[in-house]
């Protein structure tokens, strides 16, 4: 019986549609749990889906490369999904135009702080030079982060994992933190989430409101561009100055 089930799973595991369907099923389950938990950020659909997929891959012995090659269509959809953020940006164009100066200053300072804080914490903890370089673009969306990491001498695979962790943590603690520090402005909330937690933060921002989501999408895109320029100019010289 068990052997028959194993053989059946082996046949399905090589079918791209199988892993694509499994991914969507886990996400739907995560959404259901998230709703039943009254939108508790610790039970975000992304966390549930990721945990479920990891458990399944470990239990079945299927490699991540096999899974990714089968479910790569979801990865492809990241591009159109990002482009679709232009719709709420267009809807909020008047507000964005009025706030261009504080937005520009906030994003620039935020990107610099993100880079320097990672280096400072890594230096105190005694992390290796390569590891710290891999951590520098952790707050940027994955495609840009991996490119930046490779350019400055980091490990793109490690960077990708750190980007996911950063996004999950940012989407979890963002809204509770806003309540603690009494930040109620949707544009401010959106920029903070998009800057610190890229795509996942943008998703969390849309749960706050369309205005917050629009500003988060803008912050995510611009912070990626800013980091691509600042990371080589700041991270490498600072690490050399610290002797790492």
Same domain, 143 and 191: yes
Question: Which residue ranges of the chain lie beneath pLDDT 50?
Answer: 1-2
What pLDDT score does 3 carry? 52
pLDDT of residue 189: 92
- 40 and 110 inside one domain: no
Taking residue 191's Cβ as centre, other Cβ atoms within 10 Å add up to 27
Domain boundary among 76, 103, 133: 76
Q: Are residues 121 and 236 in the same domain?
A: yes
Residue at which a domain ends, from 14, 46, 76: 76
**Nearest to residue 48, comparing CAs of 70, 65, 27?**
27
Q: Are residues 230 and 167 in the same domain?
A: yes
Domain span at residue 52 reads 2-76
Considering the domain architecture, whether residues 28 and 144 belong to the same structural domain is answered as: no
Q: How many domains does the chain have?
A: 2
Tally the C-alpha atoms within 13 A of residue 166's C-alpha that lie toward its C-beta. 26
pTM: 0.76
Exposed, middle or buried, 134 (CB in 10 Å: 0-12/13-18/19+)? Answer: buried
7-43 residues labelled b (16+ CB within 10 A) or e (exposed): eeeeeebeeeeebbebbeebbeebeeebeeeeeebeb
- Whether 37 and 62 share a structural domain: yes
Tell whether the torsion through CA atoms of 145, 147, 148 and 152 is positive or negative. Answer: positive
- pLDDT the model gives residue 222: 85
Closest C-alpha to 158, from 135, 140, 124, 177: 135
**145/136 Cα distance (integer angstroms):** 9
Is the domain of 169 the same as that of 65? Answer: no
Three-class secondary structure assignment of 182-222: CCCCHHHHHHHHHHHHHHHHHHHHHHHCHHHHHHHHHHHHH
Per residue in 203-227, pLDDT (tens digit) is: 888 888 888 888 888 888 888 888 9
pLDDT at position 5, please? 52
SS3 for 91-134 is HCHHHHHHCHHHHHHHHHHHHHHHHHHHHHHHHHHCCCHHHHHH
Q: Do 108 and 70 share a structural domain?
A: no
**Are residues 28 and 88 located together in one domain of the fold?**
no
- Say what the pLDDT of residue 116 is: 93
- Quote the pLDDT of residue 136: 92
Same domain, 44 and 118: no
Torsional class of 38: left (φ above 0), alpha (ψ -120 to 50), beta (otherwise)? left
Give the pLDDT of residue 108.
92
Q: Which of 76, 98, 114 is the last residue before a domain boundary?
A: 76
Angstrom CA distances, 118 to 3, 10, 112, 114, 185, stand at 49, 43, 10, 6, 27
156 shares a domain with 48: no
Percent of the chain with pLDDT over 90: 13
What's the chain's average pLDDT? 83
């Amino acid at each position: 019986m068990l052997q028959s089930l194993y053989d059946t799973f082996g046949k399905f595991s090589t079918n791209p549609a199988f892993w694509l369907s499994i991914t969507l099923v886990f996400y739907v389950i995560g959404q259901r749990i998230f709703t039943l938990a009254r939108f508790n950020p610790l039970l975000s659909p992304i966390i549930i889906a990721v945990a479920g997929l990891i458990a399944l891959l470990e239990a079945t012995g299927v490699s991540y490369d096999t899974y990714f090659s089968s479910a790569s269509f979801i990865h492809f959809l990241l591009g159109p999904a990002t482009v679709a953020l232009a719709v709420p940006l267009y809807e909020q164009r008047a507000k964005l135009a009025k706030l261009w100066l504080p937005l520009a200053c906030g994003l620039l300072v935020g990107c610099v702080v993100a880079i320097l804080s990672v280096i400072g914490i890594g230096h105190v903890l005694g992390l290796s030079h390569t590891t710290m370089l891999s951590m520098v673009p952790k707050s940027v969306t994955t495609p840009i982060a991996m490119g930046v990491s490779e350019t400055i001498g980091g490990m793109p695979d490690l960077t990708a994992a750190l980007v996911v962790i950063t996004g999950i943590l940012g989407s979890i603690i963002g809204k509770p933190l806003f309540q603690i520090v009494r930040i109620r402005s949707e544009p401010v909330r959106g920029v903070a989430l998009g800057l610190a937690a890229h795509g996942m933060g943008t998703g969390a921002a849309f749960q706050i409101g369309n205005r917050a989501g629009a500003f988060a999408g803008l912050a995510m895109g611009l912070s990626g561009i800013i980091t691509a320029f600042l990371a080589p100019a700041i991270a490498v010289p600072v690490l050399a100055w610290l002797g790492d």
